[in-house]
Structure 1
Amino acid sequence: MDYSLYPRNDVLCIDMRSFYASVEAVKLGLDPMKVMLAVVGDTSRSGSIVLAASPALKKKYGISNVSRFFELPNDPDIYIVDANMADYLHASIDIVKLLHQYAPKEAIHPYSVDEIWVTVNGLEKLFGNRWEVAEKIKQDLLRTFNLTCSIGIGDNKFLAKVVMDLHAKKIGIAECKYEDVKEKLWPFPVEAIWGIGGRMKRNLNHMGIVTLGQLALYDRNSLKKRFGVMGEQLYWHAWGIDLSPVFGDFLKTEQKSFGHGISLLRDYSKSEALICILDLCEEVCRRARANRQAGKTVHLGIAYSKETSGGFSRSQSIDLPTNITMEVYHICMELFNRFYDGRSKIRRVYVTLTNLVDQQKMQLQLFEETMKKHDLGYVMDSIRHKYGSTAILRASSYTDAGILLERSKKIGGHYAKSRRNE
């Protein structure tokens, strides 16, 4: 591979170690690396997931973010806390602010709440080479927030990310240049790298591709024929090549759909599920209106309880795009009445609006009643924006089957503040 044909940048991928658990440990005045602490989504539910475990808890008991609350050992030395999502978001924002001391905002790309890419090209005179910049950032984060991190250094974003995952998490800071790919990437199994999940792993393994080295040496055209554009991308990644931009406004992406779903805390009956669907339609359409878009295809997904299992996922398209809640709801009702088996309890529901168009381009029906419905949605949105998301709700949202009141207390599906503090 002639790497001289591809750009070289100085990219860092920073991963905050056991971020949620570390933030909670610092709040308690404890050492994040030594204390045994678990962050649980909701301690009032024994089946709630462990969102984060401190390194010491992982090492001693093997607890991970797929463990459940009831699986935590009965050890008095373990601290168990409810998730406080607002605190983690604030901490993440503070970390990004610190990174602005090293690089302009155009060079900082938050990938998630605890993982960030930073391009540090041209900082040699200020902070030294990219290794020295990584060392300074690591020390600065520890000194300022008492939080530790792992940092991958690469010639592009992919190399920085993958060397962080494979090597830096063990030793703190690791680097991978193009010339290091054969040594530092190829011996690893294909599923070890970012972007290859279980299904792709099985498909590759069936083709005799087990390691990244085997993937890199496989015929590129055959991979493209089998997996399309994804197959070609996997080939280039196995060689360490990534042409994604390292500067720019990374947060601007084209919105292709608006969707909302929920895994219910108990089995819902048919009548309760209809209330839940209405609440989801309200939220989906609110988001569409906020982005001045409307959709021509409505998708409804229903999963039944474990007793019967199964469910359905169906969509229906309409001639004129809409972001009116009740129009979307009526389409969902048509899908529900057509495909629901009539007897099963329901445990998961999701609604999605796709096939989007800009509202200014949409051809509104020039009927007074339609215009009133359209304007009413924006009036309700403005009230919620000014006075809070629960300032105005439909009466059904206040029933036991409604979900909007409870969801308003959450960020990313988890409570913004511990309910024990309310």
Structure 2
Amino acid sequence: MDYSSYPCNDVLCIDMRSFYASVEAVKLNLDPMKVMLAVVGDPNRSGSIVLAASPELKRRYGISNVSRFFELPDDPEIHIVPAHMADYIHMSLQITDLLQQYAPLEAIHPYSVDEVWITVNGLQHLFGTREEIAKKIKADILDSFGITCSIGIGDNKFLAKVVMDLHAKKQGIAECTYEDVEEKLWPHPIESIWGIGGRMKRNLNRMGIITLGQLANYNLDHLKKRFGVMGEQLYWHAWGIDLSPVFGDFSKQEQKGFGHGISLLRDYTKEDIPYCILDLCEEVCRRARTANKSGRTIHLGISYSKETGGGFSRSQSIDLPTNITLDVYDICMQLFNKFYDGKSMVRHVYVTLTNLRDKQETQLDLFEDRTKKNDIGYVMDAIRDKYGSTSILRASSYTQAGITIERSKKIGGHYA
């Protein structure tokens, strides 16, 4: 492969080691790398998920981020703490601020709350080689926040991330250039890289593709015919090629729709579900109104409890775009009443508004005052913006089946 025509940048991918657990350990004045600590979504529920386990807890007991609270061993040395999402977001923003000492904001691309790319092109005269810059950043994060990170260095964002996942998490800092791909990537199984999940792995394995080297040397036309654009992307990734931008405003993307869902803390009956759907419609429409958008297609997703399994996902389009809560709610209830099996308990609900349009002048209707219905939504939004998300609610939100009040205490589904 001749890499001379492909972009070659100095990109670092920085991953905070067991971030949530590390933040909690620092708050307790404990060493994140030595203490046994588990961050649990809700310690009052035995089935609550372990959101993060410290490296020592992982090493000694094999606890992972998909373990459950009841699976934690009965060891008095284990610290169990509830999640504090606001603290993790605050720490993430502080780390981003620190990175701006090395590069401008447009060269920093947060991937998640605990992972970020930073492009350091042209900074050698200030901070040294890209490996020296990685060492300085790693030391600064540890000195400033007490948190250990792993850093992958690559010629593009993909190489930086994949070498971080495969090598830097063991070595602390690892580098992969185009010329290193055959040695550092190809021997690894295909599922080791970004973008290959269980289903894709099974499909590729059935084609005799087990390692990244086999993927890179497979016939590209056959991959494109079998998997389309995704097959082509995987092929080029196996060669270490990634054309995604390394500079710019990565946060601004065209909004395709507004969705809101919830995994319920208990099984909901047919009588409970309308309250939950109404609260979700309120949030979806609030977000659409804030963006001055309305939509023509309403989607409702329902998953039943584990005992029965299954569910449905259906959508319906309307003639006039809307962001009025009760309009969306009426369509969702039509879908629910049409496709619900009539007996199963519900554990997950999702509402989405898509097929977006810019907000237009309200179309007059002889039989209802749409202008007034539209204005009510914006007035409620203004009150919530000024006085808080729960300052004005529908009466249904105060019932046991309502979800808004409880969700207002959380960030990302976990308590702030």
TM-score per shorter chain, which class? over 0.9
Q: What's 1:171 paired with? A: 171
| Structure 1 residue runs of 4 or more that deviate by more than 2 Å after TM superposition | none
Amino acid at match of 1:171: Q
Q: CA deviation at 1:308?
A: 2.0
Q: What's 1:63 paired with? A: 63
Q: What's 1:271 paired with? A: 271
Q: What's 2:400 paired with? A: 400
Contact 1:296 1:356 in 2 (8 A): yes
Q: Secondary structure at the match of 1:270?
A: coil
Equivalents in 2 of 1:4, 1:42: separation in Å?
52
Equivalents in 1 of 2:309, 2:105: separation in Å?
48
Amino acid at match of 2:15: D
Q: What's 2:283 paired with? A: 283
Q: What's 1:328 paired with? A: 328
Equivalents in 2 of 1:101, 1:194: separation in Å?
29
Q: Confirm whether residue 153 of structure 1 aligns to residue 153 of structure 2.
A: yes
Q: CA deviation at 1:307?
A: 2.4
Amino acid at match of 1:284: V
Q: Secondary structure at the match of 1:3?
A: coil
Q: What's 1:371 paired with? A: 371
Q: Secondary structure at the match of 1:351?
A: strand
Equivalents in 1 of 2:284, 2:209: separation in Å?
41
| CA shift digits 1:153-195 (9 cap, x unpaired) | 0000000000000000000000000000000001111110011
Q: Any unmatched runs of 5+ in structure 1?
A: 417-422
Q: Confirm whether residue 344 of structure 1 aligns to residue 344 of structure 2.
A: yes
Q: CA deviation at 1:238?
A: 0.5
Q: Relative to structure 2, which stretch is displaced further, 224-233 or 272-281?
A: 224-233
| CA shift digits 1:211-247 (9 cap, x unpaired) | 1111111111211111111111111101000000000
Q: Secondary structure at the match of 2:369?
A: helix
TM-score, normalisation: structure 1: 0.97
Q: Secondary structure at the match of 1:180?
A: helix
| CA shift digits 1:290-310 (9 cap, x unpaired) | 111111111111111222222
Q: Relative to structure 2, which stretch is displaced further, 218-227 or 278-287?
A: 218-227
Q: What's 1:419 paired with? A: none
Q: What's 2:91 paired with? A: 91
Q: Secondary structure at the match of 2:271?
A: helix
Q: Relative to structure 2, which stretch is displaced further, 214-223 or 126-135?
A: 214-223
Q: What's 2:21 paired with? A: 21
Q: Confirm whether residue 295 of structure 1 aligns to residue 295 of structure 2.
A: yes
Equivalents in 2 of 1:200, 1:104: separation in Å?
37
- What are the residue-to-residue correspondences of 1:13-412 with 2, within 5 Å? 13-359=13-359, 362=360, 364-367=362-365, 369-412=369-412
Contact 1:261 1:349 in 2 (8 A): yes
| CA shift digits 1:338-392 (9 cap, x unpaired) | 0111111111111111111222xx4631237111111111111111011000011
Q: Relative to structure 2, which stretch is displaced further, 322-331 or 225-234?
A: 225-234
Q: Relative to structure 2, which stretch is displaced further, 334-343 or 16-25?
A: 334-343
Amino acid at match of 1:142: L
Q: Secondary structure at the match of 1:122?
A: coil
Equivalents in 2 of 1:200, 1:355: separation in Å?
29
Equivalents in 2 of 1:357, 1:82: separation in Å?
41
Amino acid at match of 2:406: E
Equivalents in 1 of 2:374, 2:218: separation in Å?
55
Q: Relative to structure 2, which stretch is displaced further, 30-39 or 263-272?
A: 263-272
TM-score, normalisation: structure 2: 0.98
Q: Secondary structure at the match of 1:400?
A: coil
Identity among equivalent pairs (%): 78
Contact 1:320 1:363 in 2 (8 A): no
Equivalents in 2 of 1:279, 1:271: separation in Å?
15
Q: Secondary structure at the match of 1:390?
A: coil
Amino acid at match of 1:333: M
Equivalents in 1 of 2:112, 2:349: separation in Å?
25
| CA shift digits 1:66-91 (9 cap, x unpaired) | 00000000000000000000000010
Q: Any unmatched runs of 5+ in structure 2?
A: none
Equivalents in 1 of 2:49, 2:202: separation in Å?
27
